[in-house]
Amino acid sequence: MQMGTFLEVGISLAVMYAMLGLMCTTVNELLATFLKFRSNNLKGAILQLIDNQQLYRSFYNHGIIKSELEMTAKQPVPTKQPDASQLQNAVPNPATDPGDAKKPLAKDAPGKHTSYMDSKTFALALLDSLDTSKPITSVQEALEIANKLPQSNIRDIMLNALSDAGQDLQKARDSIAGWFDGAMDRLSGQYKRDMQKVTLLLGLLLAVILNADSFSVTRELWRNATIRAEIVQKAANIPSNEITNTCAREPQDQQETCGIKLLNKRLADLAPLPLGWNLNAVTADRAGLLYLLLKIPGLLATALAISLGAPFWFDLLQKFMDIRGTGKKPEPKEKS
């Protein structure tokens, strides 16, 4: 009896954390879409990687890059012109005017930016950006122009790639593409860490709004077998693809509607759980203050549990369900 109760309480908590985790995932997707987290991160990363103003402007005026930005913005991207102190009415050309050691500024970046850039596209456009008047056809030609650039990190990267390539221009492009992939891996890791912090804050916010106090919910589940049975039944009917049911693949103009529908569905899945505030207990006297203070540890525990992510809780939920569904092994049949 006790073991069965333990399992049912564990299943119920796993359902609560999994659904709250999916709600956080949905809100994260909406925030990332409307605040353009991914595209702004990539735009900021390229601003740091191409730390030469002339080359940076030339890069974003390259036809391949402009076409990607136009697809993202769904409108033509205007050509970035140099300052009045530089060439007038012309695209910056590092081959004829390498410029000085100025780094690109935020104002040099395009308005709308793609959230992903292929490393081979980046490498091709970067080498081509050394000379905007004609294609780069040899390693020696690229080396001569790169040597004229003022001292910068991107100059060193290009010189190393070109020097190691011998006479193979494609090898130089592959080397630059590999360097870009490494930079994007680091950016992806930083993005995940940042989103983990956002998830923790969202988890705490959800816990407070819904009064998802892990300790009081556990006490109520332990006492109420009816609620436990209802949630266990719901857990058994959760589709296997529930965790992959997101709005990430929806068109951008439909993601808000999709996200709201998913949030409402998650709230419905949480319905049997003993959530919500007892407004009669929230008073301005000492008893009301004590009630709120005692809620803090349970709400923090919920936020930390949600930050582990919905996949963790779905895996744990499956293990709990497997244990609960395992009965006594049948006796082996006697051989006749």
Over residues 290-304, the pLDDT tens digits come to: 878 888 999 999 999
Mapping DSSP onto H, E and C, the string for the chain reads CHHHHHHHHHHHHHHHHHHHHHHHHHHHHHHHHHCCHHHHHHHHHHHHHCCCHHHHHHHHCCHHHHHHHHHHHCCCCCCCCCCCCCCCCCCCCCCCCCCCCCCCCHHHCCCCCCCCCCHHHHHHHHHHCCCCCCCCCCHHHHHHHHHHCCCCHHHHHHHHHHHHCCCCHHHHHHHHHHHHHHHHHHHHHHHHHHHHHHHHHHHHHHHHHHCCCHHHHHHHHHHCHHHHHHHHHHHHCCCCCHHHCCCCCCCHHHHHHHHHHHHHHHHHHCCCCCCCCCCCCCCCCHHHHHHHHHHHHHHHHHHHHHHCCHHHHHHHHHHHHHHHHCCCCCCCCCCC
Tokens of 34: 């409307």
Does residue 326 surpass a pLDDT of 60? no
CA distances from 113 to 62, 105, 187, 220, 274 (A): 14, 15, 16, 50, 45
- Tell me the pLDDT band of 174, cut-offs 50, 70 and 90: very high
Residue 192 pLDDT: 87
Q: What percent of the chain has pLDDT over 90?
A: 25
**Top-ranked range on mean pLDDT: pick from 82-86, 177-181, 192-196, 287-291:** 177-181
Burial class (CB in 10 A: 0-12, 13-18, 19+), 171: middle
Residue 251 pLDDT: 66
CA gap 110, 275 in Å, rounded? 46
Residue 69 pLDDT: 82
Mean pLDDT to the nearest integer, 146-172 = 90
Tokens of 214: 């892990």
Residue 84 pLDDT: 41
Rounded (5°) CA angle 276-281-282: 85
The pLDDT tens digits of the residues spanning 35-64 come to 888 888 888 899 889 888 888 988 988 888
Which is more confident, 334 or 22?
Answer: 22
Does residue 81 surpass a pLDDT of 70? no
Residue 75 pLDDT: 53
Tell me the pLDDT of the chain averaged across its residues: 81
CA gap 202, 168 in Å, rounded? 51
The answer to which of 10-19, 205-214, 221-230, 273-282 has the lowest mean pLDDT is 273-282
CA distances from 164 to 95, 126, 171 (A): 21, 17, 8
- The one-letter amino acid at 252: Q
Residue 328 pLDDT: 42
| Cα end-to-end distance, the chain, whole Å | 38
**Top-ranked range on mean pLDDT: pick from 162-166, 239-243, 255-259, 267-271:** 162-166
Residue 40 pLDDT: 87
Residue 122 pLDDT: 93
Residue 271 pLDDT: 81
Tokens of 55: 């080359």
Burial class (CB in 10 A: 0-12, 13-18, 19+), 216: middle
Does residue 85 surpass a pLDDT of 70? no
Mean pLDDT to the nearest integer, 172-176 = 93
Mean pLDDT to the nearest integer, 243-269 = 70
The pLDDT tens digits of the residues spanning 91-136 come to 678 877 776 667 777 777 777 788 889 999 999 999 999 988 888 8
In this structure, the dihedral spanned by the alpha carbons of residues 166, 167, 173 and 179, taken in order and rounded to 10 degrees, is: 10
Residue 330 pLDDT: 46
Which is more confident, 158 or 85?
Answer: 158
Does residue 147 surpass a pLDDT of 80? yes
